[in-house]
Copies of this chain bind each other. A is one copy, B any other.
Amino acid sequence: MASIKDVAAEAGVSVATVSRVLNDHPSVSAEARARVLAAVEALGYRPNAVARSLRTDQTHTLGLVISDVLNPYFTELARSVEEEARALGYSVIIGNADERPDLQDHHVRNLLDRRIDGLLVSPTDGGSPLMLDAARAGTPMVFVDRWIPGVDVPVVRSDGRAAVRDLVAHLHGLGHRRVAIIAGPAATTTGRERVDAFRDALAAFGLELPDVYIGQGDFQAESGRRVTEGFLDLAEPPEAVFAADNLMALGALDAVRARGLRVPDDIALAAFDDIPWFVHTDPPVTAIAQPTGELGRAAVRALVDRIEGRPGESVTLPARLVVRRSCGENPTQVQRSTT
């Protein structure tokens, strides 16, 4: 592969001049510029990003460590992150943690070793020492969706409390009183918050969330299935189940179907995170929708701000309830999905 030296030789100038042309530095004569450009063309020269990064100490690359690529929420997030990053002149390297702290650390380390300019993370756990060290050492970092408390890193996320209250009102309005939740890992903020928000909202209606109605999941489908089976095995199963993410809702649907039961007749179901498929499931699933694309874009902007020396602010956007049919029919319901 041709290097800058080959181009210099071909154009009959020094490597310094070639470099100047390539980085359009002003002080290059029109003639030299033309010769260099011709040589670049002739040799099919492309600058070596590795060498450039070594010298400039910049990779123009962002690292994104997401919790699970198989989760449509995170792929949508990844897509918007890459789009915004590209618009700002950055590339993105994605690491999939698969909800495993060890894999998360593997990717964080890998990205740090590659000297990415900044890191976007949705932590799968309470905080690996590795990531905390990196944050303390000054690696530009932004948390997205999930975060780690007590670290001085901007957080871009959505607040689902209001939407959860709407959901509980919806469930209550449909007559559900025994309601359960399939929670995410307690080590994650979203894992805890969604349970807390749900419990608080229930309390406002004078309802309790007993421990047997809190199933411990891990945000992946299999755990949703397992927890739901546990609920169905109870002497007094819940009337409604709220899955803290879309994959666990999928697992719950699997479990319900395996028992030959029906949603919502036998048990109501709602999920956090709305995805296109929820419109077409049997029944369509009532869900809490996050402004995913906007979150991804805001996170990139905050990160790039940090990288380029500007403050980089936290952002919290509201989620909203999208009512469909999985919690039961209620003709008087005001809010209703149009899609």
Measured CB to CB, the residues of A under 8 A from B are 1, 44, 46-51, 53-54, 59, 69-70, 72, 75-76, 78-79, 82, 86, 91, 93-94, 96, 98, 106, 109-110, 112-115, 133, 137, 221, 250, 253-254, 257, 276-277, 279-284, 339
Contact = CB atoms under 8 A, between A and B. Distances in A.
Contact of A70 (B53, B54, B76): B76
A257 B280 contact: yes
21 contacts: A44-B133, A50-B53, A69-B75, A69-B78, A69-B79, A72-B72, A75-B75, A79-B98, A86-B106, A91-B93, A91-B110, A221-B276, A250-B276, A253-B280, A254-B279, A277-B280, A280-B281, A280-B282, A281-B281, A281-B282, A282-B282
A112 B2 CA distance: 13
Q: Which 10 pairs, one residue from A and one from B, show the smallest C-beta to C-beta distance?
A: A282-B282, A277-B277, A49-B113, A280-B281, A253-B280, A50-B53, A49-B114, A50-B54, A69-B75, A69-B79
Contact of A250 (B69, B280, B283): B280
B69 A59 contact: no
B257 A47 contact: no
A277 B284 CA distance: 12
Contact of A93 (B46, B93, B109, B221): B93
Contact of A113 (B46, B250, B276, B282): B46
B70 A59 contact: no
A339 B284 CA distance: 19
A331 to B, nearest CB: 18
A265 to B, nearest CB: 14
Contacts of A94: 93-94
Contact of A47 (B50, B78, B113, B284): B113
A50 B59 CA distance: 9
Contacts of A282: 280-284
Contacts of A86: 106
